[in-house]
Chain A
Amino acid sequence: KAGVTQTPRYLIKTRGQQVTLSCSPISGHRSVSWYQQTPGQGLQFLFEYFSETQRNKGNFPGRFSGRQFSNSRSEMNVSTLELGDSALYLCASSLGREKLFFGSGTQLSVL
């Protein structure tokens, strides 16, 4: 069974731009969660989608948004990028509300 796939692996953007990250969950998993990982703040929860609906949301500004498609694939969008948005963005899928399985992440650098 294929694992969680995130694309792209690396991204370099400049301040003010926007970016879209993609995540394909494990086949059969309907829940997709997104996390931001930085050396200073650790792992911070962004949001969770289940059956195309946002089920849970972390404490991030509205510049961070997401969506989930009918095939459970998810995208995350960050608009008006700031230097502080540089981070590893991790996507995780799960069958229910247990056992998150993570992708390798997208490393975003904002210059």
Chain B
Amino acid sequence: GEDVEQSLFLSVREGDSSVINCTYTDSSSTYLYWYKQEPGAGLQLLTYIFSNMDMKQDQRLTVLLNKKDKHLSLRIADTQTGDSAIYFCAETGTGNQFYFGTGTSLTVIP
């Protein structure tokens, strides 16, 4: 199946920017997604980007897509303690099945 890779951990200071990176394999994905999971909860859709776009901004969130390198990133500006969570990127592969990365655990230090 498709392989979606993310680094496991990221630690930032409150107020700084966080950048979470992801690489994917299926260049035919129509959309690429970022989900957030807080402890004991399901996955919350944060944002998504259409595959023919390079960038999408949504309040504090900026998604960058480099299709040539199959690289997706999520930038969170002015990171707050409430942003501490696990972040998953996802692509839709064969049969429109979703493939999720391993998740990046973001810790925000006050």
Contacts and interface: CB of A to CB of B under 8 A. Distances in A.
A76 to B, nearest CB: 15
A102 B88 contact: no
Contacts, number: 51
Contact of A43 (B40, B45, B100): B100
A102 B42 contact: yes
A75 interface: no
A100 B43 CA distance: 9
Query: What size tier do the contact residues of chain B reach?
Result: 20 to 34
A99 B103 contact: no
B43 A90 contact: yes
Given A90-B43, A104-B42, A98 B103 contact: no
Interface of B: 30-31, 33, 35, 40-45, 48, 88, 92, 95-103
A45 B98 contact: yes
Contact of B42 (A33, A42, A105): A105
Interface in A69-111: 90, 92, 97-105
Contacts of A105: 41-42
A43 B41 contact: no
Given A56-B96, A104-B42, 11 more contacts: A35-B100, A42-B101, A43-B100, A43-B103, A56-B95, A99-B33, A99-B48, A100-B33, A102-B45, A105-B41, A105-B42
Nearest to B99: A45
Contacts of B97: 45, 48, 56, 58
A78 B40 CA distance: 22
Contact of B98 (A4, A6, A100, A103): A100
A63 to B, nearest CB: 21
A43 B99 CA distance: 8
30 contacts: A4-B42, A6-B42, A35-B100, A42-B100, A42-B102, A42-B103, A43-B43, A43-B100, A48-B97, A55-B95, A56-B95, A56-B96, A56-B97, A90-B43, A92-B43, A97-B92, A97-B96, A98-B30, A98-B31, A98-B48, A98-B92, A99-B31, A99-B33, A99-B45, A99-B48, A101-B45, A102-B35, A102-B45, A105-B41, A105-B42
